[in-house]
Amino acid sequence: MAQYHGQIHLALAGFYDVLSDEGVMYRTRARGNFRKRDLKPLVGDWVTFSAETQKEGYILEIDDRENALVRPPVANVDQAIVVTAVRMPDWSSNLLDRQLVALDEKHIEPIIYFTKTDLLNATELSELEEVAQGYREAGFQVILPKAAFDPASLEEVANSLANQLSVVMGQTGAGKSTLLNHLAPELELATGEVSKALSRGKHTTRQVGLVTIFGGLVADTPGFSSFEVFDMPANELTHHFREFNQLSANCRFRGCVHLNEPGCAVKAALEDGTIMRSRYENYQLFYDLIEGRRPVYNKHDKKH
């Protein structure tokens, strides 16, 4: 049986549609030994598979992943469009910074896309423009539409998609699906047809698929992972604030965590306003959160 290599583009009820390196789509299933190894193929995975026909193939091996998300369940993601509402739900720098840390840890490049800016008055919009500029200066691409999903903002997103595997992320109600439908108006129709064509019974649930938009692959299911937990040690948190990384070489102490150390370049930048106060305060909060979770052993009363 011929062996091929390719990328999973659709997961559905135990079937995986794999686009081979030669550009041919194969319907495959996963071998039973993946279950034994507690390994589940994900959309976005690069795989080796065998197939006699385009309808009957088996995934034999999954290549090492660059990263994987839980919601949406996609592997090897290059970038995430982080849809961030400024109203309903209200803007939260804490949530956005959590998302940025979590994405950085997975080596996923974020694009911040603000929504519901039309619900702000002139003063609030001006304040948000300052916030957006702060994130740009920290090294992020930020899209701040003047009107909801205006052509200029959609074009900026479209231009960033080529040769990337992208996901759309954000809180419920932030406008993720609306953004996806603006980018690919045919999406609802296409995914509906795909689901119907592939359905093997009314309990079939489509998980996620990749669609080609503007020369890149985009997950057709938006997601939101709640980032309550930081898995890294506290002293590594600083590495996931990119503007701190640029400054830390100038700190007096190597391994400075920018909290109480003298000669800290990050705190100096905070004082002269070159980094955002909200980012620094969220960093402090996250650091304390991680430290507070650490188990304490041998806590004996020193008086004895």
Asked whether residue 57 is marked as a ligand-binding residue, the answer is: no
Structural domain span for residue 265: 234-292
Tokens of residue 64, six digits: 């090492």
Q: How many other CB atoms are there within 10 angstroms of residue 271's CB atom?
A: 10
Q: Of 291, 292, 294, 290, nearest to 98 (Cα)?
A: 290
Question: Does residue 49 sit within a domain?
Answer: yes
- 188 shares a domain with 120: yes
130, 183 Cβ separation under 8 angstroms? no
Beta strands 46-53; 2-12: pairing state: antiparallel
134: enclosing H helix or E strand: helix 122-137
Asked whether residue 258 is marked as a ligand-binding residue, the answer is: yes
120, 87 Cβ separation under 8 angstroms? yes
**Residue 85 belongs to a domain with what CATH number?**
3.40.50.300
One-character DSSP codes across 63-131:
PPPS-B-SSS-BBS--EEEEEEESTTTTP-HHHHHHHHHHHHHTT-EEEEEEE-GGGS-HHHHHHHHHH
**Residue 246 belongs to a domain with what CATH number?**
1.10.40.50
pLDDT tens, N- to C-terminus, the chain (304 residues): 899 999 999 999 899 999 999 999 999 999 888 888 889 999 999 999 999 999 999 999 999 999 999 889 999 999 999 999 999 888 999 999 999 999 999 999 999 999 999 999 999 999 999 999 999 999 999 999 989 999 999 999 999 999 999 999 998 888 898 999 999 887 763 333 444 444 444 444 567 899 999 999 999 888 886 665 688 899 999 999 999 999 999 999 999 999 999 999 999 999 999 999 999 999 999 999 998 876 655 444 444 3
- 257 shares a domain with 210: no
Question: Does residue 83 sit within a domain?
Answer: yes
What is the rounded CA–CA span in Å between residue 32 and residue 51?
16
- Output the pLDDT for position 272: 96
- 18 shares a domain with 127: no
Tokens of residue 90, six digits: 């209200």
Asked whether residue 107 is marked as a ligand-binding residue, the answer is: no
Question: Does residue 73 sit within a domain?
Answer: no
Asked whether residue 171 is marked as a ligand-binding residue, the answer is: yes
Asked whether residue 256 is marked as a ligand-binding residue, the answer is: yes
153: enclosing H helix or E strand: helix 151-159
Instruction: Select from 158, 186, 219 the last residue of a domain.
Output: 219
Asked whether residue 106 is marked as a ligand-binding residue, the answer is: no
Question: Does residue 244 sit within a domain?
Answer: yes
Asked whether residue 115 is marked as a ligand-binding residue, the answer is: yes
What is the rounded CA–CA span in Å between residue 158 and residue 214?
6
- 121 shares a domain with 149: yes
Asked whether residue 299 is marked as a ligand-binding residue, the answer is: no
- Output the pLDDT for position 75: 97
Asked whether residue 201 is marked as a ligand-binding residue, the answer is: no
Number of domains in the chain: 3
One-character DSSP codes across 273-288:
TSS-HHHHHHHHHHHH
Inter-axis angle of helices 187-198 and 176-183, nearest 10: 100
Q: Of 140, 42, 31, 40, nearest to 84 (Cα)?
A: 140
- 127 shares a domain with 9: no
Instruction: Determine phi and psi for 129, rounding to 5 degrees.
Output: -65, -35
Question: Does residue 179 sit within a domain?
Answer: yes
- 213 shares a domain with 90: yes
Beta strands 141-143; 79-85: pairing state: unpaired
Question: Does residue 67 sit within a domain?
Answer: no
- Output the pLDDT for position 189: 35
- Output the pLDDT for position 171: 87
Asked whether residue 117 is marked as a ligand-binding residue, the answer is: yes
**Residue 45 belongs to a domain with what CATH number?**
2.40.50.140
Question: Does residue 300 sit within a domain?
Answer: no
- Output the pLDDT for position 208: 87
Dihedral of alpha carbons 72, 22, 26, 214, sign? positive
Asked whether residue 78 is marked as a ligand-binding residue, the answer is: no
75, 224 Cβ separation under 8 angstroms? no
- 139 shares a domain with 199: yes
- Output the pLDDT for position 229: 65
- Output the pLDDT for position 245: 95
